[in-house]
Structure 1
């Protein structure tokens, strides 16, 4: 099974409601779709979101990475030469982790198809169902409380609450949500790098003193402030999850060695795909640290790849893969089934994607 062509396109999927964080606000998913075609007729699918505020990647940079480097490197290669393919992909261009992730997942898709096995079973097959949280965008406290109630009515029992816009309001936001949903719902919060270390500790400890029972806080300080992250981890009553601080296996190693966080978040778009994510899971297993698996604001192709990884590895204990359920529609045929909080992985070979409606191909 040899690679004969790589096609690029774009999908546009509207969101149910605008997605707001401390870093950005968007109303639709506008992602790049990658199709790797082979001489056997098999197609592998990948996806990359242009998330400049986080990964630094834009639509133009993703397309440029493929046209100038990745396509030239990969076309003509045999899918069976998997390790060499991954080495070539990861060395053909510096950074561009989302573009690499899109190619990576399409290669895994084809590798599973080659041997007629789902990727999650190829990687370990720990389970076939997972439970995700759902994100509550940052707004005024009353609106966030209403959104939280709506999520509970849809069956969710874990909320990921965005904070960090006007830190003075963050505790008030959480008080309103906890009052609205009661004490049986797990609440984790995501500051998206919005706080300074001492400020983070003050806010987090205030939240716990008010009996808000916060499960964890995601990336409270700037991504590269490892010392600040460690300060929060050492002084906060709330467990700390490193997210934007982890763009590679090397980043994860640094954080684990420093004990700068209690948990590590894996996102395929940050680390460059499943191949590199597996290195992070192995390190976490060695030191006894649990992982979350998360996503950017992505449609089902790339989130589906993350589902396969989550279902393969038991060290991934926390799931934040709500991208598809935040979308108003699903143009993706096949792949995992997203039934609100319950996600069931596909047992079809590879990643199980059969086709995508509405792709606008680039020349």
Structure 2
């Protein structure tokens, strides 16, 4: 099998409502979809959707530029030799793991189709036919966040993430307390700062809420800030945005800065890198999610397939953007949330066959 062409699409993803975090409010995003075409007639699909230009250094124009630098150098290679494909991408361009992730995901999709197996089977096997997910409650008034928390429990979610930061710390504390009052036994809560809290406010919030079982997800912007406060907080700290590759994950574990992780598949480089992180976390008994920043059915399916292989005692759920997106790429097989869980697509590869009419014409073609 050889790559004969790589097509790049840009897909408009309007957000249902407004998705508010500590540093930004999102109403519309653009996803970059990669199509790998082979001489056998098989095609594979990957996707990367940066969460706007200020959430992290990744952005749509950067993804396009990186793929345009890499793609011509991959034509003629066997895309199912995924390790060698990733080495070729690294030889073609330093960094830009998020852009390479789209190609890596497409390669796993192709490998599954070539061997007639699901991606989760190629990754070691699924632990069931569905995975748990969780709901992220956007920044709003404490009363509104508590209302949404009660509603999402009724819909079957067993883990909730409340967005904090970007407002007076007293509002965050009030929101956490109001949510804790409506949580049922067995519900899990994460307070996610998305790097929007100072070290001072993180300590203040944690000590004021020390009686509430929860985790703090990426409250501060850097690893150094986390190191400064780690011994002063009353809750476990999960790292998210700072973990942009396998090396940072290893370092944060060695330095005892992480009690767990909120992991994004495309941020770390794709399914291949996420598999490595999964195994490192299992070796150290560290819980983690398998998420992505945003995106459509392709990214959602990648998260679900990887999440299905995580040891259940360590799995914190697979977050997908489906509740905030009106349309599916694959109307029949696109991942959907039902009673707090997502069924694993059953077809080979990712199990997603996107409707190319949804994408329009490629914005770039190589090969």
Give the equivalent residue in structure 1 for 2:135: 134
Give the equivalent residue in structure 2 for 1:257: 254
Unaligned regions of 5+ residues in structure 2, if any?
Answer: none
Distance in structure 2 (CA, Å) of the matches to 1:324 and 1:312: 21
Matching of residue 55 in structure 1 with residue 64 in structure 2: no
Contact residue 282 and residue 311 of structure 2 kept, 8 A:
no
Contact residue 119 and residue 348 of structure 2 kept, 8 A:
yes
Question: When the two structures are superposed, what TM-score results if normalisation uses the length of structure 2?
Answer: 0.91
Instruction: Tell me which of 201, 204, 207 is aligned to 1:202.
Output: 204
Question: When the two structures are superposed, what TM-score results if normalisation uses the length of structure 1?
Answer: 0.92
Q: How does 1:39-54 map onto structure 2 within 5 Å?
A: 39-51=39-51, 52-54=53-55
Secondary structure in 2 aligned to 1:235? coil
Unaligned regions of 5+ residues in structure 1, if any?
Answer: none
Give the equivalent residue in structure 1 for 2:340: 341
Distance in structure 2 (CA, Å) of the matches to 1:198 and 1:326: 33
Give the equivalent residue in structure 2 for 1:243: 240
Q: Which deviates further from its counterpart, 43-52 or 9-18?
A: 9-18
Instruction: Tell me which of 326, 329, 351 is aligned to 1:328.
Output: 326
Render the CA deviation track for 1:10-37: whole Å, top value 9, x for unaligned: 2223333211101211123421111111
Contact residue 82 and residue 104 of structure 2 kept, 8 A:
no
Contact residue 192 and residue 217 of structure 2 kept, 8 A:
yes
Secondary structure in 2 aligned to 1:355? coil
Give the equivalent residue in structure 2 for 1:83: 83
Secondary structure in 2 aligned to 1:16? strand
Secondary structure in 1 aligned to 2:311? coil
Secondary structure in 1 aligned to 2:156? coil
Distance in structure 1 (CA, Å) of the matches to 2:197 and 2:158: 27
Distance in structure 1 (CA, Å) of the matches to 2:249 and 2:224: 14
Distance in structure 2 (CA, Å) of the matches to 1:3 and 1:35: 10
Give the equivalent residue in structure 2 for 1:285: 282
Secondary structure in 2 aligned to 1:202? helix
Distance in structure 1 (CA, Å) of the matches to 2:276 and 2:91: 16
Q: Which deviates further from its counterpart, 10-19 or 267-276?
A: 10-19
Give the equivalent residue in structure 2 for 1:96: 96
Secondary structure in 1 aligned to 2:88? helix
Shift of 1:241: 0.3
Give the equivalent residue in structure 2 for 1:192: 194
Q: How does 1:1-363 map onto structure 2 within 5 Å?
A: 1-51=1-51, 52-67=53-68, 69-127=69-127, 128-166=129-167, 167-209=169-211, 212-214=212-214, 216-222=215-221, 224=222, 226-314=223-311, 316-333=314-331, 334-339=333-338, 341-356=340-355, 357-360=357-360, 361-363=362-364
Contact residue 335 and residue 345 of structure 1 kept, 8 A:
no
What's the Cα RMSD here? Answer: 1.9
Shift of 1:183: 5.0
Alpha carbons of 1:340 and 1:31: their partners in 2 closer, same or farther (altered >3 Å)? farther
Secondary structure in 1 aligned to 2:242? coil
Distance in structure 1 (CA, Å) of the matches to 2:109 and 2:294: 21
Shift of 1:153: 3.0
Distance in structure 1 (CA, Å) of the matches to 2:316 and 2:323: 17
Distance in structure 2 (CA, Å) of the matches to 1:114 and 1:38: 11
Distance in structure 2 (CA, Å) of the matches to 1:92 and 1:136: 40
Secondary structure in 2 aligned to 1:79? coil
Secondary structure in 2 aligned to 1:114? helix
Shift of 1:243: 0.5
Distance in structure 2 (CA, Å) of the matches to 1:232 and 1:290: 21
Alpha carbons of 1:82 and 1:329: their partners in 2 closer, same or farther (altered >3 Å)? closer
Alpha carbons of 1:109 and 1:181: their partners in 2 closer, same or farther (altered >3 Å)? same
Contact residue 129 and residue 344 of structure 1 kept, 8 A:
yes
Secondary structure in 1 aligned to 2:317? strand
Secondary structure in 2 aligned to 1:332? coil
Instruction: Provide the aligned length of Structure 1 versus Structure 2.
Output: 357
Secondary structure in 2 aligned to 1:312? coil
Shift of 1:206: 0.7
Alpha carbons of 1:60 and 1:8: their partners in 2 closer, same or farther (altered >3 Å)? same
Alpha carbons of 1:80 and 1:16: their partners in 2 closer, same or farther (altered >3 Å)? closer
Shift of 1:340: 5.0
